[in-house]
Chain A
Amino acid sequence: MTDRTEMPVAEESLPGERQTPPAAPVKERAPKMRSGKTMNTVTKTVIYAILALYALVIIFPFLIVIITSFKTWQDAVSSEFSWVPPMGFTLEGYQEVFTYKASSDSTLPSLVNGFINTLLYVLPPTILGLLTSSISAYAFSKLRFRSKKWMYSLLLGTMMIPGTIMIVPQYVIYDSIGWINTPLPLMIPGMFGAAACVFFMRQFYSGIPDSLIEASKLDGLGYFGIFFRIMVPLAVPALLAQGLLGFIGGYNDYLGPLLYLHEDRLHTLQVALNNIADTYERRSNVVMAASIVALVPMLTVYFFTQRYFISGIVSSGLKD
C-alpha cells in the first residue's frame, strides 16, 4: 500500500452515476509536521533507521517462528539457532498439527475443529450485532423520539463498565439456565449490538443528508425501507470496518471460551492452540506450526482489508 494522500473523493462523479462509496480510505493529509525547512539528510537517515529497526522488531519474531515450524523438534530446541537447520527442513510440525486430536472420539483434528467452531460462534453474532447496532444508530441519528437523549447517554455509559467485573455473576446465571458448555454465552449477548458500534455508526449516519431521507420518504419508503435501501448500502465501508473489528475481537477472545466451554469438541481455535502448546511442550516445532496455522487466517484477512481495519480503529478510538 502506498500513501493515500491523493485518494480520490467522489466529488467529481457525474450526477446520475450510481457509485458505490469508495472504501473508507485512510485519508492522510499531506504530512503536516514537516517544518518550514526540509529535514536534513542526517535527520532523515536517523528517522528511517529507527522506523526500520522497529519494523524489524515486529517482523523478526515471526521469521524465527516460521523457520522453527519447519524444523525437526530436535533442531527446534537446539541451543544453537540455525537459519538452515542441520537436520533439514521438514513438514513434521504441520503434519502433527493437522492430525492431533484432543480425544479419540473427535473426528476432526483439534485445531481444524477449533477453527470451524470459532467461525460458527463468531460470525453470527458479528453479523447480527452489526445489524442491530446500526439500526439503533439509525434511530439515534435520524429519527426523532422523546427518550433519545437519555437513552443515548445510558448507552454510552454502558461502555464504561469493565466487562470482567461481570464474569462471576454471568457464569452463575449461565450455569443456572444451562448455557455452560454451549456457545450461547459467547453468541447471544453480542447479537443485541455493541455500544461502541452504535456510537461509531451514528457518527457515520449523521453525515448522510436528511434531504436524501425525505426524498425516499416521499417515494414511499418506510423506516425499514429507508434503513435497508438507503442507509445500509451507503454505510458498507463503515459496516465492514466495524464488522472486522468485531470479528477480530471474537476470533482472538480467550477468557470467554475458556470459562464457558469445557469440552474438547466445543473449543475455539485459541483454546485449542493453547492446549496443543501444553501437550507438545518440548516439541517446539509443532507448537510453532500450530501458532502459524492459527495466525494465518487473521493475518490474511488483515492484509486484504487493512484500510477498513485502520479506519475503523482510528474513528472509533478518536471520536469522543
Chain B
Amino acid sequence: MEREIAENAADMTAIGANVPAEFDAATEAEPVLTKQAPANRPKKRRIDIEEIYGTLFAAIPLIGFCIFGLVPLILAFAMAFLDMGTGWDIAEAEWAGFDNFVYLFSTASDEVGISIFEAIGNTLILGISTFISQILALGIAYLLSRDIKGRGIWRIIYFIPYVCSVVAITIMWRYMFNPSYGIINQFLGNTDITNGAIDWTDDPAMFYVTINIISIWSGMGYGILLYTAALTNVNQSAIEAAEIDGAGAFTKFFRIVLPSISPTTFYLLIMGVIGMLQSFTITNVFDSSGGPDKHGITIVFFMYQYLYDWQNVGVASAASWVLAALILIVTLIQFIGSRRWVKYD
C-alpha cells in the first residue's frame, strides 16, 4: 500500500508540477477528473460525513467574508444616511437622510479643498498610465515571445518593480524628479526652475505626468508576465496559414495574435481599471497634503481624508458609494463591450 501511494504520488507530480506553471494544464486535467470520479467514488457511502466536512471546510473563507466583508458592506450603505457628528462612534449616529450626498455633491468641499468631481477627474487623469502600461507591456511581451535568448533573465528584470513596495518606489522617483537636484532634470540639462526647468513635482500639470510615469514604470511587469504567458499559447498553425496566404507581420499581429490573446487583454483591462479607480498610495506618499492644486487627491484619498483627518463618517461613506457606483458602471460597460472583441475559444 505504502508503495502504491508513493507510485501515485510520483504520477501526481507529473500532473501537479504542471499545474501552477502551465495555466491551461488545469483545464486539461479537469475532464480527466470528471471521467474518473463516478467510477472510483463509492456513491452512497459516507455521504453524510462528506457533506458535513465539505460544507465546513469550504465555508471558512465565506465565514470570514460575512464577518469582515458583508457586515461592513451593509453598514457602508447605511452609514451614508447617518450623521455621526465628529468621530467614529456609531452610537451617536442620527438619521441624516440625503444630507451627506447633498453635501458631497454641492460643495467644493471646504475640508479637503476640492469637490468629489475633481477627485474623480484626478483619479482618471492619474489612471491614464493603466492603458499606456498595458500597451507597452504587450509590446515588450511580444518581443519576448520571439525567438530570443535569455527570456527568463529579461523577465526577472522586468518584474522587479512589481515586488518593490510602492512606498519605496515613490520615494525613489520623487528624489529623481526633484526639479533642482534630481537626475532627470540634470539629464535634461536644466535644473533652474526660475529659468525654465521643468517643475515635475510642484507644477500642477506636470504633477499628473510625473505620477503617471511612476505608475507605468511600476505597473508594467504584471502585464508583461501575463502577456508572455498568453502569447506562448497562440495557435501556431493559424499564423502559419496566414503566412502562406501572404500575410505581413502587421496583419498577423492584428488579425491573429491580438484576437487570440483578447481574454488576457480583457482581464488586464478590468483589473487595471478597477485598481486604477482605487489608487491612493503613490500620490499619498508623493505628497501627503495632496500635491499641487490638490491634483493628487484621488477618490480613495478623498475618502481617507474625510474618514480620518476630518472624522466625518457620513460624507466618507457617501464618497464610497460614489466609488462603488463608478466601479460597477465601468465594469459593466467593459463586460458589455467585451462581447464585441473578446474571443474565448
Does A309 make an interface contact (CB < 8 A)?
A: yes
Whether A309 touches B61, Cβ cut-off 8 Å, given contacts A64-B183, A287-B171, is: no
Residues of B145-163 whose CB lies within 8 A of A: 145-161, 163
Contact: A270 with B165, CB < 8 Å?
A: yes
Nearest 7 pairs of A and B residues by beta carbon: A192-B64, A145-B54, A143-B54, A139-B57, A169-B75, A169-B72, A252-B165
How many CB-defined contacts (below 8 Å) exist between A and B? Answer: 449
With both chains docked as a complex, state the minimum distance between the C-beta of B228 and any C-beta of chain A, in angstroms: 8
* A178-219 interface code vs B (CB 8 A; 1 in, 0 out): 000000000011011111001010011011111110111011
B291 to chain A, nearest CB (A): 15
Chain B residues within an 8 Å CB radius of A258: 284
Q: Are A315 and B159 in contact (CB under 8 A)?
A: no
Q: Are A136 and B57 in contact (CB under 8 A)?
A: yes
Once the chains bind, are B6 and A77 in contact (CB under 8 Å)?
Answer: no
Q: Tell yes or no: A113 within 8 A of B by CB.
A: no
Contact partner of B60 (CB less than 8 A), chosen from A13, A135, A143, A312, is A135
Taken together as a complex, chains A and B put the C-alpha atoms of A43 and B8 apart, in Å, by 48
Q: Which residues of A contact B239 (CB under 8 A)?
A: 33, 35
Nearest-neighbour CB distance to chain B for A230, whole angstroms, equals 8
| 16 A-B pairs in the complex with CB atoms less than 8 angstroms apart | A1-B153, A15-B10, A24-B17, A24-B20, A25-B17, A27-B18, A33-B257, A34-B147, A35-B239, A51-B140, A76-B181, A151-B62, A165-B76, A193-B61, A209-B33, A295-B164
Whether a CB of chain A sits under 8 angstroms from the CB of B25 is yes
Give the complex CA separation of A144 and B229 in angstroms.
33
Q: Give the CA-CA distance A207 to B33 in the complex, in Å.
A: 7
Given contacts A48-B148, A252-B167, A255-B280, contact A166 B73 (CB under 8 A): yes
- Chain B nearest CB from A2 CB (Å) reads 6
Q: Does A88 contact B (CB under 8 A)?
A: no
Q: A81-B183, A169-B73 are in contact. Are A148 and B58 (CB under 8 A)?
A: yes
Q: Are B26 and A314 in contact (CB under 8 A)?
A: no
Which residue of B53, B79, B146, B178 contacts A169 across the interface (Cβ within 8 Å)? B79
Residue of A whose beta carbon sits closest to that of B263: A320
Complex contact A21–B12 (CB within 8 A): yes
Report the bound CA distance from A143 to B274 in whole Å: 34
Could you say which interface size class chain A belongs to? 35 or more
Inter-chain CA distance A271–B187, complex, in Å, is 31
CB-CB under 8 A for A291 and B53, given A16-B7, A35-B243 = no
Whether B156 lies near A1 (C-beta < 8 A) is yes
Please report the C-alpha to C-alpha distance between residue A251 and residue B27 in the assembled complex, in whole angstroms: 32
How far does the Cβ of B32 sit from chain A's closest Cβ, in whole Å? 8
Contact B58 A274 (CB under 8 A): no
Q: How far is the CA of A254 from the CA of B281 in the complex (A)?
A: 7
Q: Which of B62, B234, B281, B323 touches A165 (beta carbons < 8 Å)?
A: B323
What 0/1 readout, one digit per residue, does chain A (2-16) give for beta carbons within 8 Å of chain B? 111000011101111
- Determine how close the nearest CB of chain B comes to the CB of A50; give it in whole angstroms: 6
User: Which B residues fall within an 8 A CB radius of A?
Assistant: 1, 3-23, 25-27, 29-30, 32-33, 36-37, 40-41, 47, 49-65, 67-69, 71-73, 75-76, 79, 84, 88-91, 140, 142-161, 163-168, 171-173, 175-176, 178, 180-181, 183, 186, 191, 217, 222, 225-226, 229-234, 236, 239-240, 243, 252, 257, 263-264, 267, 274, 277-278, 280-281, 284-285, 288, 300, 303-304, 307-308, 313, 316-317, 320, 323-324, 327, 331
- Interface pair B317/A169, CB less than 8 Å apart: yes
CB distance from B168 to the nearest CB of A (A): 4
Report Cα–Cα, A176/B144, bound state, in Å: 52
Residues of A within 8 A of B267 (CB): 317-318, 320
Q: Are the CB atoms of A138 and B308 closer together than 8 Å?
A: no
A102 touches B (CB below 8 Å): no
Apart from A151-B55, A306-B156, what are 8 other A-B pairs with CB-CB below 8 Å?
Answer: A3-B151, A18-B6, A36-B240, A164-B278, A166-B72, A254-B285, A270-B167, A278-B288
Residues from chain B with Cβ under 8 Å of A203 in the complex: 19, 26
A58–B160 alpha-carbon span in the complex (Å): 8
The SS class assigned to the A binding surface is helix
Complex contacts, A59 vs chain B, CB 8 Å: 157, 160
Q: How far is the CA of A310 from the CA of B327 in the complex (A)?
A: 28
Q: Which of B9, B21, B27 contacts A25 (CB 8 A)?
A: B21
> Is A241 an interface residue, CB under 8 A from the partner?
yes
- The CA-CA distance from A170 to B320 in the complex, in Å, is 12
What are the residues of chain A within 8 A of B1 when measuring CB–CB?
Answer: 215, 218-219
Q: Is the CB of A254 within 8 A of B165?
A: yes
Q: Is the CB of B76 within 8 A of A38?
A: no
Q: Contact at B160–A302, with CB atoms within 8 Å?
A: yes
A299 adjacent to chain B (CB < 8 Å): yes
Residues of A within 8 Å of B243, CB to CB, are 35-36
Alpha-carbon distance A135/B264, docked complex (angstroms): 29
Q: Knowing A24-B17, A255-B281 touch, does A65 contact B172 (C-beta < 8 A)?
A: yes
A79 with B186, Cβ < 8 A, contacts A36-B243, A208-B15 known: yes
The minimal Cβ–Cβ distance linking B33 to chain A, given in whole angstroms, is 6
CB atoms of A209 and B8 under 8 A apart: yes
